[in-house]
Amino acid sequence: MTLIDSTPAQIRTACDAAAHAGPAWAALPITQRAAHLTTLADALQAARDTLVPLADEETGLGAARLNGELDRTAFQLRGFAEQLLAGRAQPVQDDAAVPGAPPAGRPRLTRVATPLGPVANFAASNFPFAFSVLGGDTAAALAAGCTVVVKAHPGHPQLSRAVFELGTGLLPAGVLQMVQGAGIDVGVSLVRDEAIAAATFTGSVRGGVALWKEANARPRPIPFYGELGSVNPVVALPEALAANGAALATQLAGSITLGCGQFCTSPGIVIVRDDEASQAFVKQLAEGLAAANPHAMLNAGIRAGFNAGVARLHGRTGVKSLLALPAREAAPGAHLFATDAASFLADEVLHEEVFGPSCIVVTVRDLDETLRVLQAVQGTLTVTLWGADADTPDNRRLIAGAQAIAGRVLFAGVPTGVAVTAAQQHGGPWPSSTNAFSTSVGYAAMERFLRPVALQDAPAWLIEARGQA
């Protein structure tokens, strides 16, 4: 399929249509809005036999992975519908009036939430269903009462068109719009459009920062919720490795190569101590990676970025190559590197994400060096701590250090696999995301598109209407 960039006029028309449809969608009774989301979920699953082969043709991710992702997307839509019916999109905090002058006295204040307006959603390449046209960002915005203009990802244009047509056939006119294009001009025009009230983005640091700057340079800046890049450190303490090192190495190798390493939560750094159990674990990790069989990457651009990323690490001062597998036809081989804390801290290149099946092992002498390595990362979606279960002063320091740089801290398992639930936090300090206070996965994602408003001495009918919407 030849991809033709949307023209400025087409982008303006899409944004204008979303703006015109916005008030009616925001005012729709909650039960009806929830019913629309459930209908979208049902329709996605009903169209599985058409959509999954189309997605596989464009991404090469395989039917098993894509079927699971389609089901996750339907689960998200239904989940947000349930949140609507539970009243989560219309939170009301009511403080009764107290006679007298402030500060003891006060008028009646009712805090409510109002939809921001049309949201620009930049679809991701690596999740053609779950982070795309009807993915989590779109579901959250629709649930909040916002219309959506999707910037389709050029990596799966036919799938994007098919899902968009499915969605527009079920939603009120104008609620869901789509623009497309491989160049940055389309994205810039979308973020600059005066009708757009917020934007979501999942992708590269370079692209995300450029759009974030555009969002803040507008005459009226808008929120830009960007997920930009993450190295997701795993801290493997000696006690855990002595007890279960071989199994953990196998599990970690699977996480690094899962989806050919094309996950935002793929582990890119492993921190170990200089002891026998840890070094045995590193050897087992290399063996696990050598036995893995990654599939082809999503597109030539991502593959070129991966090749360039591992090339920067090979031969770098203080860095040793432990594994550099050759490509197997269209699939890249896994790469494993090793360095020490001093070299890692001195070289910012080692702190950068390599999007694909690659990982750096950093050997540290003690907890202090571990914490300095974590601090050098600055911000990440996840930190995994193996062996930090006991209540000790060192573990308390380690956990505090992990919380300081991550949106999610794991004490078991691996960071790939992000549950869609109310307690999830998928977003961390810069550069992992542009807003560490928000999440792009889980039901709190809806809060990004709701602005709080205090109603003072409001008429009773208005408060009742807010509670019944």
Active site residues: 227, 264
Listed in sequence order, the residues at least 6 apart from 102 whose beta carbon sits closer than 8 Å to its beta carbon are none
In degrees and rounded to multiples of 5, residue 178 shows phi and psi of -145, 140
**Helical pair 238-257 and 276-291, crossing angle rounded to 10 deg:** 20
Closest CA relative to residue 150, chosen from 142, 444, 269: 142
The overall longest dimension of the chain from CA atoms, in Å, is 78
Measure CA 103 to chain center: 43
